[in-house]
Structure 1
């Protein structure tokens, strides 16, 4: 492991912590990584992010151990949890509201596709994970409870009932302290999960005793085989032991719960897993994203406007920093992925450890593609913006006029996907907000000089030559700061606040097309057309 000690990438830092903790574990049993998912609403991108990040740690661990330790990823669904609130973003809400309080696998699917709402959401998540090619074992809480696979650990919870109550009670409000029990009986008549005071427990008969809130009569329930479930902190601890979990990360909002669940796990003679606390994703308004509210950004939505790799890069970067998760982060992550991949191809042949600090190693599990399109997504987006075209063929025409056929053919599928993403993004987010403006007097003088200079660039293939001249014009016309000159170009010619390196734009869009764009802007045609 000394060979990797200087690697600063956070998945390696986490993997080294885990290895130090379990290094003395003997035998051939796999090291188990877990992610948990509560299917009370449609899976959001935060759920996906936890899986992606856990896989990155798992991959780093396998590298550290040279694959000498078996590993396994478990994706666990808490689908036996009760539906406490009808999500805002589902159909047939009146129908679903009649099943409040029942386990999610007993609530009808509002979409009419599966046997239950829980099964629908489970399959939605699995389809995303499969699309990314992840290797995982999916476990349903309902299946494990009802099949008896949790029975032995449930008995240990029952045997330590009062100790667990004493651990949890200090964090509860006063009215809940006296009624709290780790067990939630399930009504055999209504199927509802009861959150009631447990009056007594019988270790020998494996039963709990309470007053049925529907009939107001004394009732008893055996805790085994899915007749009862655990409150979630005890449930978390129970499955850590039952499934022999070695590593699980969680959000900043669960720090106290991790502490409580770890105490419970130790009480039942289990070992809490190594953990990692990540910050939460925020929506466009800076609020925490929620499955039940459906705010933020869905996985489907990101993949309509950007690549899988750009989404994985977003998840990799700064996991301990709260990040705004909205559509406007997609172009930046598309371009940054391409930049990281380009850097990786330069260093990978040198056996340089810096490959492990490059995000693409983690995104592709050490096997990034050898070829990459040297075309910025933001540049494509602005070609779409300048042409207002929804035709891939038209956009390919611009690329064919500048790039050599070998470069394009080697990356044809990736480039074609990028063009599709650019068209989708433009239509939904750029086009509705385009706002051209007329050039003021000083801007008009500078643009006329740019128009004149473009005549000298016929046959030029280096965008930096054009970029240098654009810089010169901005300086000579005393734009302060210089970025105001480029902002003027984007606002006047493209109707937006920012854009690509204009030298590259000119070469791909074409000298004559750019000249026409400037002439139309100076004549006021673009302001009229917008």
Structure 2
């Protein structure tokens, strides 16, 4: 059984009377949200879909932790933004001047990138939640239990606890009402009056009446379990960095149980995703990443979903933009054909089921074919349509356009060696190096090209017959060699599009000129 369905089944077993299953995920808008962050939301998405397919009502929420502090200026952002470190993301200006804030810029960018996948969670903006005072009773509760929270936090640390530190511990971040940074120190909290006093590095001092506070946020390991209770979360995944025995989840789980007296949600750890050829972790701040938009420029949305669905969340994998693109498309196309024909079974079938988007046409052009033909027709969708139609693949230009755009972007941006061109002149040196048998094959190939009654499969049967041999292994090797020779004489490459498509794209006269010109 696919991991999303098994997770959904465990949730239903644990909560047989639950009317609505709340599935959560979330991140900070610290920069361009990358495909590693995407695993956070897509893991929740698959579990939510599995629950819905089981007939359950689901509330799928995604929290933007935009009341977190701006910690670091990411690569590609003006270094002058260092002046805003310590402020909440929602109060840092938009680095490109097109949104109200830094947070809003990266939030909208990611939210729009999710739309092609059909992923539409309920977005919760934590800056709004905190400023609405919704969490203030929970913050006051945490302050009253601050010493017990300190004991829990220290139980998961290797450092020594101390009575003095325990007494000074406050599980909150305070944004200064003067400079708006969290460079503050809590001086005291008076329970009877609910007054909290703080001092900032900028010199500002103030007392805050906690029921009306809008500038105070719980520390992460307290904030997380607090929100589980407020939102009624039953399932949430987390990255490897949160999932160790002493990691954030274990600390938050204990705080949830002992401080907020709330059962923690089912937790599913996921492994990080890497960039092929790099050992570095994807990071918004370093710029070492692929964003969902980067992948959507090359891959179809349903293929991206399938790439994530087919792996267990705890299994890491790398994404490359080289020949892996062809391999990933070929694998997906093979599985999709089997799924549509009803022959796909097991986990792969369920992974495909979770990835297929409504309204998607079953038969689609193969990416490998499209990318092999396009450079020969100068990336013209209409010419591609005509060539495919000769093989019985009929698409409108509009249906082909997304595949043309992805293949063109991939070739020009990531794989320029695929941008092949037709030779201008016969390659006499290559032809002269052929054996007499190989030359006879080319002569026979040229004779077939002059017979207009031969098309499609009938033409291919005759071409294959050129290399007939009693030993089928020898014959197959000869046929492969013939095609290599043709591609070399026409494209100066060892491979290319299928021969019928090569003929359509280049034209019979040009092909004959390049091959007969040597004889």
Correspondence for 2:217 among 208, 218, 229:
229
Q: What TM-score does the superposition give when structure 1 sets the normalisation length?
A: 0.80
Cross-structure match for 2:424 = none
Query: Within 2, Cα distance between the matches of 1:296 and 1:377?
Result: 24
Query: Within 2, Cα distance between the matches of 1:467 and 1:17?
Result: 58
Query: Within 1, Cα distance between the matches of 2:84 and 2:118?
Result: 35
Q: Is the 8 A contact 1:444 1:522 kept in 2?
A: no
Correspondence for 1:251 among 233, 239, 248:
239
Secondary structure of 1:294's aligned partner = coil
Q: Is the 8 A contact 2:239 2:269 kept in 1?
A: yes
Cross-structure match for 2:275 = 283
Give the drift of 1:160. 2.2
Give the drift of 1:489. 8.0
Stretches of structure 2 that go unaligned for 5 or more consecutive residues are 422-426
Cross-structure match for 1:269 = 261
Query: Within 2, Cα distance between the matches of 1:467 and 1:175?
Result: 80
Query: Within 2, Cα distance between the matches of 1:281 and 1:439?
Result: 45
Query: Within 2, Cα distance between the matches of 1:51 and 1:294?
Result: 20
CA offsets per residue over residues 240-261 of structure 1, 9 Å max, x none? 1111111111222220221111
Query: Within 1, Cα distance between the matches of 2:462 and 2:432?
Result: 23
Correspondence for 2:457 among 442, 458, 461:
461
Q: Is the 8 A contact 1:338 1:372 kept in 2?
A: no
Secondary structure of 2:173's aligned partner = strand
The aligned runs of 1:431-442 (5 Å cut-off) are 431=416
Rg larger for: 2
CA offsets per residue over residues 368-425 of structure 1, 9 Å max, x none? 645312x32011111124x161322232232233225xx325xx54433212221222
The aligned runs of 1:70-149 (5 Å cut-off) are 70-90=57-77, 92-94=78-80, 96-149=81-134
CA offsets per residue over residues 440-485 of structure 1, 9 Å max, x none? 99877786465345455832427985896699799549979x9999
1:377 aligns with 2:367: yes
Q: Is the 8 A contact 1:32 1:74 kept in 2?
A: yes
Give the drift of 1:125. 1.8
CA offsets per residue over residues 210-234 of structure 1, 9 Å max, x none? 543332x875445554321122122
Query: Within 1, Cα distance between the matches of 2:68 and 2:515?
Result: 60
Give the drift of 1:71. 0.8
Cross-structure match for 2:302 = 309
Secondary structure of 1:187's aligned partner = coil
Cross-structure match for 1:507 = 500
Query: Within 2, Cα distance between the matches of 1:343 and 1:99?
Result: 54
Give the drift of 1:206. 3.3
Question: Would the alpha carbon gap of residues 111 and 249 (structure 1) be closer, same or farther in structure 2, given more than 3 Å must change?
Answer: same
Query: Within 1, Cα distance between the matches of 2:420 and 2:435?
Result: 18
1:61 aligns with 2:51: yes
Correspondence for 1:46 among 36, 54, 58:
36
Question: Would the alpha carbon gap of residues 483 and 251 (structure 1) be closer, same or farther in structure 2, given more than 3 Å must change?
Answer: farther
Q: Is the 8 A contact 1:85 1:100 kept in 2?
A: yes
Q: What TM-score does the superposition give when structure 2 sets the normalisation length?
A: 0.82
Question: Would the alpha carbon gap of residues 183 and 372 (structure 1) be closer, same or farther in structure 2, given more than 3 Å must change?
Answer: same
CA offsets per residue over residues 113-138 of structure 1, 9 Å max, x none? 11110111122122222343333211
Question: Would the alpha carbon gap of residues 356 and 512 (structure 1) be closer, same or farther in structure 2, given more than 3 Å must change?
Answer: closer
Give the drift of 1:358. 4.1
Give the drift of 1:435. 8.8
Aligned pair count reads 492
What value does the CA root-mean-square deviation take over the aligned residues?
3.8
CA offsets per residue over residues 124-169 of structure 1, 9 Å max, x none? 1222223433332111110000101212322332232122212222
Correspondence for 1:214 among 202, 226, 230:
202
Stretches of structure 1 that go unaligned for 5 or more consecutive residues are 1-7, 525-530
Secondary structure of 1:86's aligned partner = coil
